[in-house]
Structure 1
Amino acid sequence: MPSVGGFRNPAAEERYFAAYDRAMADCPEPDAVFDVETRHGSTRVYRYGTGGAPIVLLPGLMATSACYAALIPALADRHPVYAIDTLGEAGRSVQKVPFKDLRDRVVALDDVLANLALTSVHLVGGSTGGWHAVNQAIHAPGRLASLGLLDATTVSAPFSRKVMWWGAFAAVLDSDRLWRGFLKWSAGADIMDDAAPGLVLAGIRSYRARVPFQVPPDDAALRSIKVPVLALFGGRSVVHDSAAAAARLESLLPRADVEVLPGAGHYLYLRPEDRDLIIDRVLRAAA
Structure 2
Amino acid sequence: MSDVGDFKSEDSRDRYFEAYDKAMNDCPAPDAVHDIETRHGTTRVYGFGFGDAPPIVLLPGLLATSACYGPLLPVLAAHRPVYAIDTLGEAGRSVHTAPFDGIPDRARWLDEVLESLGLTGVHLAGGSTGGWHAVNQAINAPGRIASISLLDATTVTAPFARTMLWYGMPAVVLNKDWLWRRFLRWSAGADIMDRPDARLVLAGIREYKPRIPFQVRPSDDDLRSIKVPVLAFFGARSVVHDSKAAADRLRALLPHADVEVLPDAGHYIYLRDADRARIVDRILEFAKKGS
TM-score strictly above 0.5: yes
Equivalent-residue separation in structure 1 for 2:74 and 2:230 (angstroms): 23
Describe the superposition over 1:12-65 as per-residue Cα deviations: whole angstroms up to 9, x where unpaired: 110100100000011111110000000100000000001211000000000000
State the match for 1:30 in structure 2: 30
Stretches of structure 1 lacking an aligned partner (at least 5 in a row): none
State the match for 1:248 in structure 2: 249
Alignment TM-score, normalising by the size of structure 1: 0.99
Describe the superposition over 1:111-136 as per-residue Cα deviations: whole angstroms up to 9, x where unpaired: 10010010000000000000000000
CA drift of 1:164 comes to 2.6
- Aligned to 2:186, the other structure's residue is in SS state helix
Stretches of structure 2 lacking an aligned partner (at least 5 in a row): none
- Aligned to 1:29, the other structure's residue is in SS state coil
RMSD (Å), alpha carbons: 0.8
State the match for 2:286 in structure 1: 285
Divergent runs of 4+, >6 A: none
Equivalent-residue separation in structure 2 for 1:112 and 1:241 (angstroms): 33
Aligned counterparts, 1:114-263, within 5 A: 114-263=115-264
Equivalent-residue separation in structure 1 for 2:198 and 2:124 (angstroms): 22
- Aligned to 1:233, the other structure's residue is in SS state strand
Equivalent-residue separation in structure 1 for 2:4 and 2:83 (angstroms): 25
Aligned counterparts, 1:84-95, within 5 A: 84-95=85-96
> Is this contact kept in 2: 1:6–1:207, CA < 8 A?
yes
Describe the superposition over 1:45-102 as per-residue Cα deviations: whole angstroms up to 9, x where unpaired: 0000012110000000000000000000000000100000000000000000011211
Aligned counterparts, 1:47-66, within 5 A: 47-51=47-51, 52-66=53-67
Q: Percent identity?
A: 67
State the match for 2:102 in structure 1: 101
Equivalent-residue separation in structure 1 for 2:8 and 2:96 (angstroms): 15
- Aligned to 2:4, the other structure's residue is in SS state coil
| Aligned length in residues | 287
> Is this contact kept in 2: 1:2–1:100, CA < 8 A?
no
Equivalent-residue separation in structure 2 for 1:111 and 1:171 (angstroms): 33
